[in-house]
Amino acid sequence: MNGAPWQLQIVKRSLKKKEKLDLIRKYVRVAPEDVLLDLGCAQGILSYFLREKGGFWVSTDLDFTNLRSSKALLRKNFVQMGEEALPFLNGSFNQVVCLDYLEHVDNDDLTLREISRVLKAGGKLVLITPHSGNFFILQKIRPAVGLKLEFYGHKREGYGLPELAAKLRSAGLRLEGHKTYSRFFTEFLELILNAAYVKRLSKKPQAKLRDGHIRPSTADEFTAQTGAFKLYKLVYPLIWLISRLDRLLFFQRGYAIMVWARKG
């Protein structure tokens, strides 16, 4: 993937994104005639693989910076939105895919109601968000090493499944299934990498991006870290090998959760 767009270079060596991508390939099903909303596309990293599935995609985000980065990769079909309401008519989409977005908005209940509104009857929502609970110890450690929610652009730590199911139900969406991922070792390694980027590499731009500053957000930011990324590529095989210890923790719930729900 040498010479590939910078977003694809990142996903190739991101432990958590690779797990997420595996789930997307397995659980996001698209018919050729489907009209789909990619809600919160960020820099287009995962949107690229969603569009490979076919259908007609519209990608949205709150930040113009994100949309500009996405456009360089995805080329077309972008809409900048506000946080209060989605700029689409009722029943516009067969499916909404909302990846790592709900935890970034102030009014998550309104966002879910808006998702329900723009879905067709029987339409499907695929949602990924951080998974929280009393025994997720790394969520307690992050603030202690300086990784406050604001660095991730998060308004809340995440959601437990019962809370998420209740919020979906209130919005007129019926939970059909779920899957957790990113167990302890993957999450711990991601924490270390995020802390290194925030404390040593990021220039901490003044602009507030809804998805924070734990990774490069533009091509220029990625280019500025070329040396660090080359070093990371050298040690990545070892990092990946350590993350495979998660297989020993098959009994543990992951630190992130995918749910799929249906309208009606």
Give residue-wise pLDDT tens across range 149-201: 887 888 999 999 999 999 999 999 999 999 999 999 999 999 999 888 887 77
Confidence (pTM)? 0.91
104, 210 in Cβ contact below 8 A?
yes
* Token pair recorded at residue 35: 């009209």
- pLDDT of 206 higher than 70: no
Chain position carrying tokens 């604001």? 150
Q: What is the mean pLDDT of the chain?
A: 91
261, 176 in Cβ contact below 8 A?
yes
pLDDT of residue 63: 86
List, in order of start, the domains of the chain with CATH numbers. Answer: 6-263 (3.40.50.150)
- Outline where 128-183 has alpha helix (H): 137-144, 149-152, 161-170
